[in-house]
């Protein structure tokens, strides 16, 4: 394709620079988690090729060392080394749909790091060639989808599962602490029968527990079906029959995640169904978190003109014009993340749809899908931690408000049904409402039940558990 001018301090080469010039779309490069996954993959590929006697020991060492150097920089805790290294991976997310540009970007950087270690000039392709050696037995068509699955699985394991577990623990603690508080349940935003606040929170805790399981299922789905070994179209041309299995085994040993070669390479490369499935699990987690956050926001509304059964931690001033106002900002953050994750899932779904991304033997929307998958994982992990630490752990109950409404609820009339029947109980509820009396007051005034029997029937705490009629 002719000569291409590359910055003198760049570790990448001409193929990367062409992609930089071709795709100035969003200014958002491929996420660091993807580059890290690529390094794990390229190292495993080099070691597998060495084991298969396709690559000599010196080149295996040089490639492995380069991969480790990149990975170490990306793991830098203060971020400076990560930022510096990511400058070597400048290609926009919205690039060639197979991710070929990023695959070659990684190949070129690894090759040049190997050259520098060997005392050779950058760009010399000696002793490690980006295509012949770093990319040996591979195609962008199987490395990019493998890297996106590795990145997703590892990020879920390292960040999302621990964060959602933390949230679940915080909710379980509140469920236990709040279990003695009887309040009014609500359906359709209308008064319903009594419920213990601890029961209400046990529902939230269960949602978080299921969210952990969903994250685990997403991780497994991404890990169990690696396309590596399929090369261009799934046939495995130019690679050893054992290559994919060996690479998956080395990734499994390196990470502790049960990575496995795809059972059918034609499915694994022509589709991204496993990513759609994983994203669907993430979307469900987002929906669960949004429900919990919205309920807590509503229960904390007030303080004078809302429900105000809960007091949420005050994290910042709520208004630039209204003094003393405190808003449920953490809940709002959670709900916005849910919106974004649902949007990411829609983009991923469209990217995997036939006629858009999945065409014949290859999906051509993979960089966008990878970026959205990792964005969803990161957002959910971050906001779950914040939700647990800055909202759930500091929640307090306004006991007098929560319990004080119980006696006023007309739906206490439900407990009368086994004794006087539905129709008569409905008359009681309507009469109590029109007269401004409580159910207890109305029944006593009209002498419909013995006071002692009525006390037993209107015991709010007993209404929170099943009982015989």
Task: For residue 430, give the CATH number of its domain.
Answer: 1.10.40.30
Catalytic residue selected from 26, 80, 84, 319: 319
CA-to-CA dists, residue 25 to 82, 93, 387, angstroms: 23, 8, 34
Query: Are residues 168 and 246 located together in one domain of the fold?
Result: yes
The Cα angle at residue 159 between residues 228 and 287, in degrees rounded to 5: 100
Q: Is residue 63 part of a domain?
A: yes
Task: State the CB neighbour count (10 A cutoff) for residue 434.
Answer: 9
pLDDT in tens, 363-389: 999 999 999 999 999 999 999 999 999
Q: Is residue 366 part of a domain?
A: yes
Query: Are residues 46 and 18 located together in one domain of the fold?
Result: yes
Residue 468 is predicted with a pLDDT of 61
Sign, CA torsion 348/349/355/356: negative
Respond yes or no: is residue 172 known to be catalytic.
no
Q: Is the pLDDT of residue 177 over 90?
A: yes
| Mean pLDDT, all residues of the chain | 96
**Domain housing 340:** 141-402
Query: Are residues 237 and 370 located together in one domain of the fold?
Result: yes
410 contacts: CB under 8 Å, gap ≥ 6: 191, 429, 432, 433, 439
pLDDT in tens, 40-82: 999 999 999 999 999 999 999 999 999 999 999 999 877 888 9
Query: Are residues 369 and 272 located together in one domain of the fold?
Result: yes
Q: Are residues 274 and 355 in contact, defined by beta-carbon separation less than 8 angstroms?
A: no
Question: Residue 326 carries which DSSP code?
Answer: -
Given 106, 136, 166, which residue is the final one in a domain?
A: 136
Q: In the structure encoding, which two tokens stand for residue 168, read together?
A: 């679940």
The Cα angle at residue 192 between residues 190 and 195, in degrees rounded to 5: 130
Catalytic residue selected from 8, 188, 320, 400: 188
Given 372, 402, 432, which residue is the final one in a domain?
A: 402
Given 368, 387, 402, which residue is the final one in a domain?
A: 402
Query: Are residues 105 and 191 located together in one domain of the fold?
Result: no
Number of structural domains, the chain?
A: 3
Q: Is residue 355 part of a domain?
A: yes
Query: Are residues 292 and 417 located together in one domain of the fold?
Result: no
Respond yes or no: is residue 319 known to be catalytic.
yes
pLDDT in tens, 74-116: 998 778 889 999 999 999 999 999 999 999 999 999 999 999 9
**CATH code (residue 108):** 1.10.275.10
Query: Are residues 396 and 416 located together in one domain of the fold?
Result: no
Helices 140-155, 100-117: axis angle to 10 degrees equals 90
Q: Are residues 149 and 222 in contact, defined by beta-carbon separation less than 8 angstroms?
A: yes
464 contacts: CB under 8 Å, gap ≥ 6: 182, 194, 195, 196, 199
Q: Is residue 364 part of a domain?
A: yes
Query: Are residues 175 and 313 located together in one domain of the fold?
Result: yes
Q: Is residue 386 part of a domain?
A: yes
Q: Global pTM?
A: 0.96
| Of 1, 32, 33, the residue nearest 17 (C-alpha) | 1
Query: Are residues 71 and 88 located together in one domain of the fold?
Result: yes
**What mean pLDDT is predicted for residues 186-213?**
97
Residue 287 is predicted with a pLDDT of 98
Task: State the CB neighbour count (10 A cutoff) for residue 7.
Answer: 11
Q: Is the pLDDT of residue 469 over 70?
A: no
Q: Is residue 469 part of a domain?
A: no
Distance of CA 11 to the CA centre of its chain: 33
Q: Is the pLDDT of residue 27 over 60?
A: yes
Q: In the structure encoding, which two tokens stand for residue 223, read together?
A: 């890990």
**CATH code (residue 326):** 1.20.200.10
Question: Residue 159 carries which DSSP code?
Answer: I
Q: Is residue 375 part of a domain?
A: yes
Query: Are residues 416 and 380 located together in one domain of the fold?
Result: no
Query: Are residues 99 and 205 located together in one domain of the fold?
Result: no
Q: Is residue 3 part of a domain?
A: no
Residue 354 is predicted with a pLDDT of 87
Query: Are residues 56 and 123 located together in one domain of the fold?
Result: yes
């Amino acid at each position: 394709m002719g000569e291409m001018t590359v910055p003198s301090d760049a570790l990448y080469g001409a193929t990367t620079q062409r992609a930089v010039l071709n795709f100035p779309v969003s200014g958002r490069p491929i996420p660091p988690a993807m580059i890290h996954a690529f390094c794990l993959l390229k190292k495993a590929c080099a070691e597998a090729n060495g084991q298969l006697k396709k690559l000599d020991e010196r080149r295996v060492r040089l490639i492995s060392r380069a991969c480790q150097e990149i990975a170490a920089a990306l793991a830098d805790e203060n971020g400076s080394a990560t930022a510096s290294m990511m400058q070597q991976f400048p290609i926009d997310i919205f690039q060639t749909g197979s991710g070929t540009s990023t695959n070659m970007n990684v190949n070129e950087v690894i090759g040049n790091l190997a050259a520098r270690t060997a005392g050779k000039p950058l760009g010399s392709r000696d002793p490690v060639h980006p295509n012949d050696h770093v990319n040996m037995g591979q195609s962008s068509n199987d490395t990019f989808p493998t890297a996106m699955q590795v990145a997703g699985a590892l990020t879920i394991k390292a960040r999302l599962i621990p964060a959602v577990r933390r949230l679940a623990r915080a909710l379980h603690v509140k469920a236990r602490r709040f279990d003695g508080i009887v309040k009014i349940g609500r359906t359709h935003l209308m008064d319903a029968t009594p419920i213990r606040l601890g029961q209400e929170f046990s529902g939230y805790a269960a949602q978080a527990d299921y969210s952990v399981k969903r994250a685990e299922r997403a991780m497994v789905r991404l890990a169990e079906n690696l396309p590596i070994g399929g090369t261009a179209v799934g046939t495995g041309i130019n690679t050893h029959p054992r290559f994919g299995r060996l690479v998956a085994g080395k990734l499994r040993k390196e990470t502790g995640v049960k990575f496995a070669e795809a059972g059918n390479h034609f499915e694994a490369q022509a589709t991204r169904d496993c990513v759609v499935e994983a994203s669907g699990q993430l979307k469900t987690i987002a929906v669960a978190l949004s429900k919990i956050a919205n309920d807590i926001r509503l229960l904390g509304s007030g303080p004078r003109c809302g429900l105000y059964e809960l007091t949420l931690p005050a994290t910042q001033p709520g208004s630039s014009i209204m003094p003393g106002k405190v808003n449920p900002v953490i809940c709002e953050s959670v709900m916005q993340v849910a919106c974004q994750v649902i949007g990411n899932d829609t983009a991923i779904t469209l990217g995997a749809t036939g006629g858009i991304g999945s065409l014949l033997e290859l999906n051509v929307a993979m960089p966008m899908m990878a970026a959205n998958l990792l964005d969803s994982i990161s957002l959910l992990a971050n906001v779950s931690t914040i939700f647990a630490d800055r909202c759930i752990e500091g929640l307090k109950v306004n006991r007098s408000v929560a319990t004080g409404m119980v006696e006023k609820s007309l739906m206490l009339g439900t407990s009368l049904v086994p004794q006087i029947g539905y129709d008569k109980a409905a008359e009681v509820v309507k009469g109590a409402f029109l007269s401004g009396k409580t159910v207890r007051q109305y029944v006593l005034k009209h002498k419909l039940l013995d006071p002692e029997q009525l006390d037993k029937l209107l015991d709010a705490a007993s209404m929170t558990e099943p009982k015989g009629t």
